[in-house]
């Protein structure tokens, strides 16, 4: 995040704030957070021909808790504030899957598979089936839970849960479903 002050910068005080907490005042760091520091901007001429100078606010080792609004306040007789919003993007990670790897189920019984993931933005969960269509004939199904009301031999196979939020790579887990059918001896 950066902000520059133009023209006669000695008449201005540049401050960075987060909510009501003052992080910096002028070139002095006020916060005790060791991950926050001021970086001077190389003086340069802005598009209007005025001399521009100031400080960038740098946050090292960014964490989810750093997300939010940061306010650059340029103080003079009439202070002006510019709000910079920091959004932390986090790749998807499947945190919970049930059953874990494999499920043996009797023909006619209901099947329930569940997959939950974290990330920012919130990941979308898509169920698909390896080398096959879903039992209802669709290519995939969206949502945390995949229910099959009555298992049959066509329900057997590898089911894949994919969490994707377009940040980094999607996260994927597989569940093998075996539908146990009764063997009838016709002799």
- How confident is the model over 156-185, as pLDDT tens digits? 999 999 999 999 999 999 999 999 987 666
| Angular region, 23: left φ>0, alpha ψ -120 to 50, beta rest | alpha
How many helices, marked H, and strands, marked E, lie in the chain? 0, 16
Phi first, then psi, for residue 66 (nearest 5°) are -80, -10
Domain-by-domain residue ranges, the chain? 13-86, 90-180
Whether residue 100 contacts residue 144, with contact meaning beta carbons closer than 8 Å, is answered with no
Nearest 5°: the CA angle 22, 25, 30 is 55
Separation of alpha carbons 60 and 33, rounded Å: 10
Q: Which CATH number fits domain 13-86: 2.60.40.10, 3.40.50.300, 3.40.50.720, 2.40.30.110?
A: 2.60.40.10
Regarding beta strands 171-180 and 102-106, do their DSSP bridges make them parallel or antiparallel, or are they unpaired? parallel
Half-sphere exposure of 157 (CA within 13 A, CB side): 17
Answer whether 0.85 is exceeded by the pTM.
no
pLDDT tens string 105-136: 999 999 999 999 999 999 999 999 988 888 77
CATH, range 90-180 = 2.60.40.10
């Amino acid at each position: 995040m950066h902000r520059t002050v133009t023209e006669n910068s000695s008449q201005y005080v540049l401050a960075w704030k987060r909510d009501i907490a003052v992080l910096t005042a002028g070139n002095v760091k006020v916060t005790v957070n060791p991950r926050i520091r001021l970086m001077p901007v190389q003086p340069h001429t802005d598009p209007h021909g005025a001399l521009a100078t100031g400080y960038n606010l740098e946050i090292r080792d960014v964490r989810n808790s750093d997300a939010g609004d940061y306010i650059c306040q340029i103080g003079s007789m009439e202070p002006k504030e510019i709000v910079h919003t920091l959004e932390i993007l986090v790749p998807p990670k499947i945190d919970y899957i049930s059953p874990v790897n494999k499920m043996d189920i009797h023909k006619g019984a209901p099947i329930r598979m569940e997959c939950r993931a974290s990330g920012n933005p919130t990941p979308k969960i898509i169920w698909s089936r390896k080398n096959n269509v879903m039992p209802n004939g669709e290519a995939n199904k969206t949502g945390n839970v995949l229910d099959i009301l009555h298992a049959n031999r066509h329900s057997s196979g590898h089911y894949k849960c994919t969490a994707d939020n377009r940040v980094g790579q999607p996260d994927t887990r597989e569940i093998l479903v075996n539908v146990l059918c009764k063997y009838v001896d016709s002799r």
